[in-house]
A and B are shown apart, each in its own frame.
Chain A
Amino acid sequence: MAPSRALARLTLLRRAQQTALRRPYHSYDHPAPTGIFNAHEQAILSAAYKHVPEHGFTAQSLSLGARDAGYLDVSTNLFSEGPFSLIRYHLVTQREALAPRREAILADVTASTAVPARVERLTWERLLGNRDVNHRWQEALAIMAQPSHVPASLHELALLADEIHFLAGDTSVDPSWYTKRGGLSMIYASSELFMTNDRSPGFGNTRAFLQRRLAEAGSLSGAVGSVTQWLGFTASAGVNVLRSKGVRI
């Protein structure tokens, strides 16, 4: 009886969470669930990814990759989403590449530096991950903007913003959790678009663009914080004045 009750509770939760925003529990003790690609997909996609600089995020790259990995051309039918799975492979691998390199990326950022500096370094590092495919990235953005791929693309963007904040050691547990991630998602997406037209050496202009946007977001959140603090102070001071006058509140 007991397991069935647990099962019922879990099924109930699962049904309810179908529509809710996914943000699953991250365990340190128990192994992580397997990735979204299986071994065959992984083999084909990693081979196909090498053809992207030349052939772009296309079915052509996919079939060349399948051939390189020793599969038949027809095995690209495995990917129901076609070239989008190649884009998703790029997004997932680049996102997951941040965590192992965290120490190196943040090496010159001192421990005392605030979270925003670390967010900037990590975001820049992720943008540099687009370096090799940058000349093909506008096509990829066009595919990602197709209605059927928008939810998956936005989900990946949200995961990236969350990953960057987690690696930067952000510990917000209030609504700023949402505003920080939302803000970074918008800044990242616009910087990525800016980068596709950037011809400056080492993408220096993109970095300056990124830093300007982050500074604007920082000053905006600072202003909102100050106003909120002022309102809270005034309200509690007003209540205390009334209390000192003997009003029983």
Chain B
Amino acid sequence: MENFFLDNKDVLFHFDTMDLDRIIKLFEDDFKEAQTYPEAPKNIEDAKDSYKRVMEIVGSIAAEYMAPYAAEVDEQGVILENGEVRLAPATSRAWDMLSKAELTGMAMSRKYGGLNMPMTLLTMAGEVLSRADASFLNLGLQQDIGLTLENFGNEDQKQRIIPLLAQGKETSAMILTEPDAGSDLQAVSLKATQAPDGTWRLNGVKRFITNGCGRIGLVLARSEDREGARGLSLFLYHRDKHTKIRRVEEKLGIHGSPTCEMQFDNAPAELVGERGWGLIKYTMWLMNSARLSVASQGVGIAEAAYREAEKYARERIQFGAPIINLPPVFEMLTNMRVSIEAARSLLYETARAVEMKEGLERYSQKHPEQADALKADIKKYTKLAALYTPMAKLFNTEMANKVTYDAIQIHGGTGYMKDFSVERHYRDARITNIYEGTSQLQVVAAIGGVMSGVAASIMDEFENEDWSELPAALIDSVKAMRTKFEKAQLAVREAGNEQYTNFHARRLVEMATDIIISWLMLRDGRHSERKLKAAEIFITLARPRIEAHSTFVLNNHDCYLKNYQTIIEEF
């Protein structure tokens, strides 16, 4: 039986080497639930053993029930019929299988019917499922909605709604975007009005809503008589006749995922948390979680495309030999493989940072007596999560685009045809660096941490480790990359000009990301010779990238800022 978890050596490598011990202790609250729930782990080893078994189930569903039908799902897409969305049969069956496997509440708490599994494992599941069918987004979405309610909803909402999500009885949606509020969610205008009896009603239009046909939704709406973010609140709604699905979009990729336009006509809804915190607190939390999911989706798509490309390169004979022996082909394949592994290392480090923050916060709420002692750690991981999340979303989704692009290139003309799956992977990858915040917005989210010293603190921590067992030249190379980065950083800082900082922000974020990934890969290299070689190739590729960026920044190419209007407008 095929299994997308067990057949992936690199995923298994991360499963075996990642440091989950403290996270498990925090999430299991010192294993108290083992008294109440027979499925709860009794210790760290027990938890890891269970996680591995669960991942095997995920890998088996992905390989057996999803991957073989992904082309069919892509072909069939979704259909809007009498106001209801009809999914491709294989998509519904995959959801049914995940529900029967009781995975639909993977990361939700046991008391609401979930499995209480760390987000790191959810991230891994996301990657494995995306490799099978990138259009299958509901598992991650479901956790994001469930966990947002767990964090910010009231007890009554949690008890009523989360079990429905955990058991997979209903699917869900995060309902944020509007025709005039995409990247700029502060402009959301869907109106929430409160009747004298205290109940809320929603009126307005939402657009580009992934799985908007789901029965449970979290809706960002303007509840206050003021503009901007502070006028927005988050609402929980259970779809009924007051909400119309007006259309489903025809898209370039992820055809199996319904993207809905929805009209709310006096739709009843409940406030989640406090008024005015809808965007700045709750939606930001939800978005960060979704960004991690998309980062994992990118890795999954790239993995699928790489495997196709490698297989084809071995089988395709040209000039009397398999094309994998040709330098341009093996170079492409090597770079694809290394960048997937780079993205994976960043992905799981990001998941760990996010999870440490979440776990510490949860633990400190349950144990107020320890809150003071945990404060410094919470602060640290909050900052790390805030930097790592946009970095991973940016790097991994751009990587997915590049890898799927090269996968077609390796196939040549054949790859452009529908007969092979690489064209689908290429189309599917294209959304990942757009939704849940474009790459450009990830730069905006990350630049603060890159300039303020969070990135430097990560680099310091790595530099202070004992690297004596690894080749000194590699370590020095990464340190030299940092010197180049810091020169550029200083030049931008000294310019003291906001527009100039924004102009160079992407270069700075990319330099910092390359350096941090280099360290992460070297750390992986401590466990395996092959991983060390992968690190060497990554560093070899990253160093000239950083030098180019640094040179560009230092040479002060203000021809852009001075002349862009002339170039664009006087054409």
Say if A and B assemble together: no
